[in-house]
Amino acid sequence: MKKWIVKAIQAGSIVLDRSAMTHYKGKGEQITVPIWCAGATDGEHKVLVDTGIRDLEEYRKAEPGVIQTPEQDTVAAVRRIMGWEPEEVDIVINTHLHCDHCGSNAKFRKSKFYIQKKEWEAAFAPLVPEVPFYDSLCYDKNAVNYFQWEFLNGDAEILPGLRVITTPGHTRGHQSVLFHTEAGVVCVSGDICNVAENVNGNLEPNIVVMVPETYESFQRIRQSSHYILPGHEPAVKDGAETFIQVL
């Protein structure tokens, strides 16, 4: 089977209370966390997992602590870490459709987009606490041509050595992306794990719409993955190719 190389791509950061990532733990402690995307290649295909934010000022309404340097703009960051132009990206996989994970979808005009059908439907019918995070301008028909979407109904193999598994909890149709690498299976988890402590400490993140499913999703990640790149893990460095061990 082909081995993949996966790299962390930082598309900004957010200053927030630690407890926002780890339920009530760490309340009152301010931390800065990255917004992670990932670039991956098997030597043939160029794959991007998540696309960061759309517009800094707009995202500030949902997350007042957001910071983005010019080199963290998604297109600039993908170019800097992967050396890819946006039109070279073959596949974009969105873990979910929150606006810090699909914000720059519209910049990747030639890509095929993979999302769980359930997430697509949820994004157009957000629950009240989800409203600030679902910005339809990131994924509607003007952002991404409808025919570029591949809607998934559950776990799927996208390419040899590249699978998605459903990991609901943070959102209703959330998925995580698994890459078969030289070191083992790397899980790009999106926000089912904001930080590695969620899976390794069995501790839910703050934004959870399905509580039991969140813990089942942690279990799926533990069963399938050796390493994890969580959606906002501060211990990972920009451009890193090695990630956090799943315990």
Tokens standing for 200? Answer: 């390794």
* Closest approach of Zn ion to the CB of residue 192, in Å: 9
Query: Rule CB under 5 A: which of 84-123 touch Zn ion?
Result: 98
The smaller minimum CB distance to Zn ion, of residues 166 and 181, is found at 166
Tokens standing for 172? Answer: 């209703």
Query: Rule CB under 5 A: which of 207-246 touch Zn ion?
Result: none
Task: Give the binding range for Zn ion (CB under 5 A) out of 54-62, 149-157, 183-191, 239-247.
Answer: 183-191
Report how far residue 81's alpha carbon sits from residue 83's, in angstroms, rounded to the nearest whole number.
6
The smaller minimum CB distance to Zn ion, of residues 14 and 84, is found at 14
* Closest approach of Zn ion to the CB of residue 100, in Å: 7
* Closest approach of Zn ion to the CB of residue 206, in Å: 10
The smaller minimum CB distance to Zn ion, of residues 98 and 220, is found at 98
Report how far residue 111's alpha carbon sits from residue 48's, in angstroms, rounded to the nearest whole number.
9
Query: Rule CB under 5 A: which of 188-207 touch Zn ion?
Result: 191
Report how far residue 136's alpha carbon sits from residue 13's, in angstroms, rounded to the nearest whole number.
22
* Ramachandran region, residue 160 (left: φ > 0; alpha: ψ -120 to 50; beta: rest): beta
User: Considering the rule CB under 5 A, would residue 135 count as an interface residue with Zn ion?
Assistant: no
* Residue among 76, 36, 16 nearest 188 (CA): 36
Report how far residue 112's alpha carbon sits from residue 172's, in angstroms, rounded to the nearest whole number.
22
The smaller minimum CB distance to Zn ion, of residues 86 and 190, is found at 190
Instruction: Please report, as ranges, the residues that interact with Zn ion according to CB under 5 A.
Output: 98, 191
